Amino acid sequence: MATDEVPPTKRASDGPAHLRWRDRPGVLAINATLIGIIVLSVLWLPPISLGRRLAVGRMNTPVPDLEVTQSDSVVAQTSPTATAVSAYTAGDSVPEAATLQPENRATSVVEAALPSPTPTGLPTEEPGPTATAMLEPTATSTPLATPTQPPEAAWAGKAPTAVVTVTRLNLRAGPGTAYARTGQVRLGDTLEIVGRNDEGTWLKITTLDGAEAWVILTYVQTSANVNGLSVVTAPPLPTLAPQPTQVASTPARPTGFGYGVQAHEDTARVCQAINELGFGWLKQQVRWEYVEGSKGQYGWAGLDGLADTANSAGVKVLFSVVAAPSWARGGKSGVGPPDNYQDFYDFAGAMAAHFRGRVQAYEIWNEQNLSREWEGAPLSAVDYVWLLKEAYQAIKAADPNAIVVSGAPTPTGISDGVTAIDDRLYLQQMYNAGLKYYCDAVGAHPSGYANPPDVYYTSRPGGLDPQRGYDEHPSFFFRNTMEDYIQIMAANGDAAKRVWATEFGWPTNDGMGVPPSPSYEFAADINEQQQADYIVRAYTWSRNWGHAGVMFLWNLNFWPTVGPESEMAKYSIVRGDWSPRPAYVALKEMAKQ
């Protein structure tokens, strides 16, 4: 966070985090003493790019680092949201968290994430940080900063050490990202060196609590010459299942516009409603933890019934896959990724093989830029793309006709790197890590809150309506999100793909006999007729826009399945007794093309 900026306040405690971009501080009075302090401070600061300073000021807090630092590419802006998007893409040096699994390479994450051979038109990436940057000001007299004798002499009789030079750094069970991650260390931590691998690219160390692990040399500063360290034999590499060859270079499958809806339970009645609406797709969330109770033991029965019923009704199916089982997370609670990504690749391949020809599309994860959907690990677009990459390959190997949609980030209005990473920033980071090569369509959650779908965010103070709220940031606007995503995609050479809105809608508690749910107070700002109008306008605009893929309304029937008190019920287009709300009638009558 810039020194002259106060953090915005968080407006929602349970739903997506919201920002109020107000209450900026006034101009500071600077006297001669303060100027002197500032000048001295600047001389002591470690090198940092102007782009990074702007990013920190705009986004509040840098995104946590682990094994790579990347830079975003510049996006040419043409829409009224240009200023907002340029904040995420105009040369900011964005540190990216990495928790890599599948490859044994001591290279940057960007290099590891790209297919081999490298496709043409690959976005240019800057190299990661080197180990030469000093953590402390050069004026401090320490053996690390300005040694006056060879390191071996200065540290004679002492164990050599390594000091961490990035915000967070992974600990590994062996010298490479193919080994399991065993923990993390932080900026400034001093680690005792045991030895190095044969290539001199990884160090075996002892952590502060006495545990032994490996760290990549790139992001530590050593007290001794690495070449003089003892060579330590690496443990055997973990055995990975063979992966299909040349899948990553397969052209993405083109997708077109379509009408879809997410529903829950009562599949026969749901499919009847989908046909009555004139829609063609059903989205079903699949919780991996409910399907694979132990490694390799799959319980497909419930999903078999859903897929068969949908196919019999002529309805296509999207499975949105989330939530690793406890056994794959070391017993950690919450919703998050597995410790060993290979477990997910095995599950994705088995799922695609089992449902080949019956499930037409798979979305890999959901809102992974939000901590409550990625618990137990730091938020990381690089980690996510690793999860997506091999899952994409496994699905395509089992069912080449299946469509793979990247997991949709959620607009948050906040970007502290811990609770959430701004969805536009996160999408660019996904592209930095190679997203272009591992999906057929890009997932999005263009939430409209209580704002009409075809209007833009305005930067005027107070938003569209100072009395209402949830309109003072681009994250609260359907059209801003859709257009910002295609601009980022175009900047990364991926505009030919479609944006699949795997979740969108407008909630209202009108006619429900209950107040709005906490953190969803905006549901009181529209009535049932406005809900119907906004949904129809969103479908019409998206169809005419030309970049939208299948649009999945959230939702059809959560009022009768979860009860009116739930925030999910407010989005429903049928009532608790399955009678249609105005939105259902309007969508049924809406012209389809």
Look up tokens 């739930």; give the residue: 566
Domains of the chain and CATH, by start? 9-97 (no CATH), 102-179+181-237 (2.30.30.40), 259-589 (3.20.20.80)
Per-residue pLDDT of the chain in tens (593 residues, 90 and over written 9): 332 222 233 333 333 344 333 232 333 333 333 334 333 343 333 332 222 222 222 222 222 323 333 333 323 333 434 433 444 433 332 333 333 333 332 333 222 333 333 333 333 333 333 333 333 333 333 343 334 444 344 444 678 999 998 767 888 899 876 688 788 888 899 999 999 998 888 899 998 888 999 998 878 899 999 888 999 998 987 654 343 333 444 667 788 999 999 999 999 999 999 999 999 999 999 999 999 999 999 999 999 999 999 999 999 999 999 999 999 999 898 999 999 999 999 999 999 999 999 999 999 999 999 999 999 999 999 999 999 999 999 999 999 999 999 999 999 888 999 999 999 999 999 999 999 999 999 999 999 999 999 999 987 677 778 778 888 889 999 999 999 999 999 999 999 999 999 999 999 999 999 999 999 999 999 999 999 999 999 999 999 999 999 999 999 999 999 999 999 999 999 999 999 999 999 999 999 97
Residue 277, burial from CB neighbour count under 10 angstroms (0-12, 13-18, 19+): buried
Dihedral pair phi/psi, residue 325, rounded to 5°: -65, 160
Residue 79, burial from CB neighbour count under 10 angstroms (0-12, 13-18, 19+): middle
Residue 289, burial from CB neighbour count under 10 angstroms (0-12, 13-18, 19+): middle
3-state secondary structure of 467: coil
Nearest to 287 by CA among 317, 344, 325: 325
Whole-structure pTM value: 0.64
Angle between helices 82-89 and 423-432 (to 10 degrees): 40
In whole angstroms, what is the distance from residue 523 CA to residue 66 CA?
39
For residue 195, the cross-strand partners are 204
The set of residues, in sequence order, having a beta carbon less than 8 Å from that of 499 and lying 6+ positions away, is 441, 442, 444, 482, 485, 486, 489, 547, 548, 549
Structure tokens at 430: 């996904």
In whole angstroms, what is the distance from residue 172 CA to residue 170 CA?
6
End-to-end alpha-carbon separation of the chain, Å? Answer: 48
In whole angstroms, what is the distance from residue 420 CA to residue 95 CA?
14
3-state secondary structure of 290: helix
Residue 273, burial from CB neighbour count under 10 angstroms (0-12, 13-18, 19+): buried
